[in-house]
Amino acid sequence: QKEVEQNSGPLSVPEGAIASLNCTYSDRGSQSFFWYRQYSGKSPELIMFIYSNGDKEDGRFTAQLNKASQYVSLLIRDSQPSDSATYLCAAVEYGNKLVFGAGTILRVKS
């Protein structure tokens, strides 16, 4: 079973700070990676996806991928209390199967 590992947190950051969420994966064959946000009692919603080594920016969010280190991260700039949620990292296995980490709880304090 391929694995995706995340620190469960909670990660607490003050409002306006940068939140850094990290994820490692075991399957070197994985090529596609996704970050989902999940509010309590709700379904996951896609924030970003990344396929290539390096950084990908979308508004306040930046995804980073390092395939050599099998490491994916998500940076949230200017964190807001509304960003408080669980952030799920996922890797695509063979076919279209998504393998999720257990998620990191983020708490943004105002």
Partner 1 sequence: DAGVTQSPTHLIKTRGQQVTLRCSPKSGHDTVSWYQQALGQGPQFIFQYYEEEERQRGNFPDRFSGHQFPNYSSELNVNALLLGDSALYLCASSPTGTGSNEKLFFGSGTQLSVL
Q: Which residues bind partner 1 (CB under 8 A)?
A: 1, 4, 6, 8, 32, 34, 42-46, 49, 88, 90, 92, 95-103
Q: What's the CA gap between 104 and 93, in Å, rounded?
A: 21
In angstroms, give the least distance from the CB of 72 to partner 1.
Answer: 14
In angstroms, give the least distance from the CB of 83 to partner 1.
Answer: 19
**Which CB, 16 or 59, lies closer to partner 1?**
59
In angstroms, give the least distance from the CB of 54 to partner 1.
Answer: 18
Q: What's the CA gap between 48 and 56, in Å, rounded?
A: 9
**Which CB, 15 or 45, lies closer to partner 1?**
45
Q: What's the CA gap between 10 and 52, in Å, rounded?
A: 28
Q: What's the CA gap between 23 and 9, in Å, rounded?
A: 12
CA distance to 8, 33, 93, per residue, from 80 (Å): 20, 24, 33
**Which CB, 69 or 95, lies closer to partner 1?**
95
**Which CB, 71 or 100, lies closer to partner 1?**
100
